[in-house]
């Protein structure tokens, strides 16, 4: 959430930067690019058909043939994890992107025009925050029924107020700069000022926030799918795999361990990327 400037001076000691922003971004971005490539190339690299049921392989332990073992129905866990990345990344990334597309103009307008525009937008979006995020997602799904598209929409709605607020704050700060007033005084239209001066300079924090939220979106999607409310079988999803293996957890832990690890790695990717971006593009700590 808030960690001001990331250099807390504790009792006069100056925190040394062990992780440079560049390295964090590279590690995070590298993990994500790798996972995305795996997801895209799933049909090419998955060793087995993720749907292929093999009765004699039910709950088979990891082996050379099946490095992650096989599940309750004898399906290859590795192949399923590879395919499941598709749903998990797709839902979380598209949800955050959709949220971003709505939040940026709303935040820009609220921060730039202020007054009633600001209070209308901000107060309305605040209403969304009356519900805890997970509960709102569940409420959404209660209405519209389970599914990955619905889960993505729910996640997008949940993050709308957060992203819009970050955009609003950074717009507010950028708008205070003298050159903004200057270009208005020289007769530039609001739209032109927003597009050429405000938006490009106010983008940093919201991108940082989007990256951080992607990590949460991924967990949220997995949680919903775990409850059977997100991505529906037979499409493999990481959360769904965790739900399937719950009954056999103690006999066949590999059914749970590997999909879980995939989530952890993806979340770490977004977290590192977000933290690196934060240090590089959000020195004022606007993003939460």
Q: Which stretch binds other proteins (CB under 8 A): 50-58, 65-73, 86-94, 249-257?
A: 249-257
CB 237, min distance to other proteins, A: 13
Question: Which 143-202 residues touch other proteins, going by CB under 8 A?
Answer: 143-146, 158, 161-162, 165, 169, 172-173, 176, 178
Q: Which two tokens stand for residue 147?
A: 């599914």
CA distance 208 to 196: 21
Q: Quote the least distance from Cβ 206 to other proteins, whole Å.
A: 14
- Cα distance between residue 115 and residue 180, in whole Å: 18
The least CB distance from residue 220 to other proteins, in Å, is 7
CB nearer other proteins, residue 48 or residue 93 = 93
10 touches other proteins (CB under 8 A): yes
Cα(238)–Cα(175) distance, integer angstroms? 43
Burial class (CB in 10 A: 0-12, 13-18, 19+), 49: middle
Q: If binding is defined by CB under 8 A, does position 4 make contact with other proteins?
A: yes
Contact 66, 76 (CB under 8 A): yes
Taking CB under 8 A as the rule, does residue 1 contact other proteins? yes
Q: Say what angle helices 115-128 and 77-113 make with each other, to 10 degrees.
A: 150
Among 84, 194, 207, 220, binds other proteins (CB under 8 A): 220
Q: Does 131 bind other proteins (CB under 8 A)?
A: yes
User: Which helix (H) or strand (E) element contains residue 10?
Assistant: strand 9-10
Burial tier of 160 (Cβ tally within 10 Å: 0-12, 13-18, 19+): buried
Q: Given the rule CB under 8 A, which residues bind other proteins?
A: 1-4, 8-16, 18, 127, 129-135, 137-139, 141-146, 158, 161-162, 165, 169, 172-173, 176, 178, 212-213, 215-216, 219-220, 222-223, 226-229, 239, 242, 246, 249-250, 253, 256-257, 260, 263-264, 267-268, 271, 284-286, 288
């Amino acid at each position: 959430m808030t960690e001001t400037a990331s250099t807390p001076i504790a009792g006069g000691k100056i925190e040394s930067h062990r992780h440079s922003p560049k390295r964090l971004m590279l590690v995070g971005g590298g993990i994500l690019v790798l996972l995305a490539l795996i997801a895209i190339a799933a049909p090419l690299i998955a060793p087995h058909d993720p749907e292929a049921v093999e009765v004699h392989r039910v709950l088979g332990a990891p082996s050379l043939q099946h490095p992650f073992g096989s599940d309750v129905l004898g399906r290859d866990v590795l192949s399923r994890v590879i395919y499941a990345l598709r749903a998990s990344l797709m839902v979380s990334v598209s949800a955050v992107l959709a949220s971003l597309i709505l939040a940026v103009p709303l935040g820009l307008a609220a921060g730039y025009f202020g007054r009633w525009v600001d209070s209308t937008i901000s107060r309305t979006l605040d209403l969304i925050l009356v519900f805890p995020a997970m509960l709102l997602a569940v409420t959404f799904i209660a209405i519209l029924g389970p599914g990955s598209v619905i889960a993505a929409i729910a996640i997008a709605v949940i993050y709308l107020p957060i992203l819009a607020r970050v955009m609003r704050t950074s717009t507010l700060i950028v708008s205070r700069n003298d050159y903004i007033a200057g270009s208005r005084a020289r007769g530039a239209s609001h739209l032109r000022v927003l597009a050429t001066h405000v938006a490009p300079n106010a983008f940093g924090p919201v991108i940082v926030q989007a990256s951080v939220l992607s990590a949460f979106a991924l967990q949220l999607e997995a949680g919903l799918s775990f409850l059977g409310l997100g991505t529906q079988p037979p499409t493999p999803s990481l959360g769904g795999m965790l739900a399937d293996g719950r009954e056999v957890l103690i006999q066949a832990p590999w059914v749970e361990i590997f999909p879980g690890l995939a989530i952890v790695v993806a979340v770490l990717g977004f977290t590192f990327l977000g933290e690196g971006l934060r240090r590089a593009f959000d020195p004022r700590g606007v993003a939460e």
